[in-house]
Homo-oligomer: A and B are copies of this chain.
Amino acid sequence: MREDEALRAANAAYYLAFARGDAEAMARLWAQEGVSCVHPGWPPLFGREAVLASYRDIFRNPLQEEIKLGAETVLRAENDGRVVCLEQVGQALLVATNWFRRVDSEWRLVHHQASPLTGGPAEAKMPATRH
Protein backbone atom coordinates (compact mmCIF):
# COMPACT_ATOMS: atom_id res chain seq x y z
CA MET A 1 0.00 0.00 0.00
CA ARG A 2 2.91 2.35 0.67
CA GLU A 3 4.02 1.90 -2.93
CA ASP A 4 0.48 2.65 -4.12
CA GLU A 5 0.69 5.93 -2.24
CA ALA A 6 4.11 6.61 -3.77
CA LEU A 7 2.56 6.00 -7.19
CA ARG A 8 -0.27 8.44 -6.48
CA ALA A 9 2.29 10.99 -5.34
CA ALA A 10 4.30 10.53 -8.55
CA ASN A 11 1.09 10.97 -10.55
CA ALA A 12 0.23 14.14 -8.62
CA ALA A 13 3.78 15.40 -9.21
CA TYR A 14 3.21 14.96 -12.95
CA TYR A 15 0.13 17.19 -12.89
CA LEU A 16 1.84 19.72 -10.64
CA ALA A 17 4.79 19.95 -13.06
CA PHE A 18 2.25 20.39 -15.86
CA ALA A 19 0.30 23.09 -14.01
CA ARG A 20 3.51 24.99 -13.28
CA GLY A 21 4.93 24.51 -16.76
CA ASP A 22 8.02 23.19 -15.01
CA ALA A 23 10.11 21.45 -17.67
CA GLU A 24 12.86 20.49 -15.19
CA ALA A 25 10.42 18.80 -12.82
CA MET A 26 8.87 17.03 -15.81
CA ALA A 27 12.31 15.83 -16.93
CA ARG A 28 13.00 14.38 -13.45
CA LEU A 29 9.72 12.44 -13.57
CA TRP A 30 10.38 10.61 -16.83
CA ALA A 31 12.55 7.50 -17.09
CA GLN A 32 15.75 7.51 -19.12
CA GLU A 33 14.75 4.64 -21.39
CA GLY A 34 11.77 2.90 -22.93
CA VAL A 35 9.59 5.98 -23.03
CA SER A 36 6.47 6.70 -25.10
CA CYS A 37 3.77 9.37 -25.01
CA VAL A 38 0.45 9.94 -26.78
CA HIS A 39 -0.90 13.45 -26.24
CA PRO A 40 -4.58 13.93 -27.16
CA GLY A 41 -4.89 13.79 -30.94
CA TRP A 42 -1.12 13.52 -31.49
CA PRO A 43 0.79 10.69 -33.16
CA PRO A 44 2.85 8.66 -30.67
CA LEU A 45 6.19 10.00 -29.50
CA PHE A 46 9.09 7.69 -28.61
CA GLY A 47 12.21 8.37 -26.59
CA ARG A 48 12.96 10.66 -23.68
CA GLU A 49 14.16 13.60 -25.78
CA ALA A 50 11.11 13.69 -28.08
CA VAL A 51 8.74 13.39 -25.12
CA LEU A 52 10.41 16.11 -23.06
CA ALA A 53 10.53 18.41 -26.11
CA SER A 54 6.77 17.94 -26.53
CA TYR A 55 6.16 19.14 -22.96
CA ARG A 56 8.38 22.17 -23.51
CA ASP A 57 6.25 22.99 -26.60
CA ILE A 58 3.03 22.52 -24.63
CA PHE A 59 4.34 24.70 -21.80
CA ARG A 60 5.07 27.49 -24.31
CA ASN A 61 1.52 27.34 -25.71
CA PRO A 62 -0.44 30.29 -24.26
CA LEU A 63 -3.73 28.58 -25.15
CA GLN A 64 -2.99 25.45 -23.08
CA GLU A 65 -5.76 25.10 -20.52
CA GLU A 66 -5.47 23.98 -16.92
CA ILE A 67 -5.94 20.27 -16.19
CA LYS A 68 -8.18 19.20 -13.33
CA LEU A 69 -7.47 15.66 -12.17
CA GLY A 70 -9.84 13.12 -10.68
CA ALA A 71 -11.03 9.52 -10.32
CA GLU A 72 -7.52 8.07 -9.98
CA THR A 73 -7.27 4.28 -10.03
CA VAL A 74 -3.92 2.68 -9.16
CA LEU A 75 -2.89 -0.70 -10.59
CA ARG A 76 0.47 -2.07 -9.52
CA ALA A 77 2.49 -5.24 -9.98
CA GLU A 78 5.84 -5.09 -8.23
CA ASN A 79 7.99 -2.44 -9.93
CA ASP A 80 5.43 -1.66 -12.61
CA GLY A 81 2.48 0.58 -11.86
CA ARG A 82 -0.02 2.82 -13.52
CA VAL A 83 -2.57 5.42 -12.59
CA VAL A 84 -5.65 5.61 -14.79
CA CYS A 85 -7.44 8.90 -14.17
CA LEU A 86 -9.71 11.52 -15.64
CA GLU A 87 -8.48 14.89 -16.83
CA GLN A 88 -10.83 17.81 -17.27
CA VAL A 89 -9.27 20.25 -19.72
CA GLY A 90 -11.58 23.18 -20.36
CA GLN A 91 -14.89 21.63 -21.42
CA ALA A 92 -13.27 18.35 -22.47
CA LEU A 93 -13.03 15.23 -20.35
CA LEU A 94 -10.13 12.86 -21.08
CA VAL A 95 -9.05 9.44 -19.83
CA ALA A 96 -5.32 9.41 -19.06
CA THR A 97 -3.06 6.46 -18.33
CA ASN A 98 0.21 7.35 -16.63
CA TRP A 99 2.50 4.35 -16.51
CA PHE A 100 5.45 4.24 -14.12
CA ARG A 101 8.39 1.94 -13.51
CA ARG A 102 10.23 1.83 -10.22
CA VAL A 103 13.88 2.65 -10.90
CA ASP A 104 16.28 2.96 -7.93
CA SER A 105 13.31 3.27 -5.55
CA GLU A 106 11.74 6.10 -7.58
CA TRP A 107 8.61 5.79 -9.71
CA ARG A 108 9.49 7.12 -13.17
CA LEU A 109 7.08 7.72 -16.03
CA VAL A 110 7.52 5.46 -19.03
CA HIS A 111 4.22 6.20 -20.82
CA HIS A 112 1.44 8.76 -20.89
CA GLN A 113 -1.66 8.50 -23.04
CA ALA A 114 -4.68 10.76 -22.86
CA SER A 115 -7.77 10.17 -24.95
CA PRO A 116 -11.06 12.08 -25.10
CA LEU A 117 -14.13 10.74 -23.40
CA THR A 118 -16.93 11.28 -25.89
CA GLY A 119 -19.82 9.99 -23.84
CA GLY A 120 -19.89 13.08 -21.65
CA PRO A 121 -19.37 13.52 -17.92
CA ALA A 122 -22.47 11.52 -17.00
CA GLU A 123 -20.67 8.33 -17.98
CA ALA A 124 -17.78 8.82 -15.62
CA LYS A 125 -17.09 10.15 -12.19
CA MET A 126 -16.20 13.81 -12.37
CA PRO A 127 -12.77 14.88 -11.25
CA ALA A 128 -12.73 15.38 -7.50
CA THR A 129 -9.32 16.87 -6.88
CA ARG A 130 -7.57 19.80 -8.43
CA HIS A 131 -3.86 20.25 -9.13
Contacts and interface: CB of A to CB of B under 8 A. Distances in A.
A116 B41 contact: yes
Nearest to A121: B43
Interface residues of A, number: 30
Contacts of A114: 115
Interface stretch (A10-18, A49-57, A58-66, A76-84): A76-84
A84 B44 contact: yes
Tell me if A's interface is mostly helix, strand, loop or mixed: strand
A97 to B, nearest CB: 6
Contacts of A40: 115, 118
Contacts of A124: 43-44
B97 A41 contact: no
B77 A101 contact: yes
A123 B38 CA distance: 13
A9 interface: no
A77 to B, nearest CB: 5
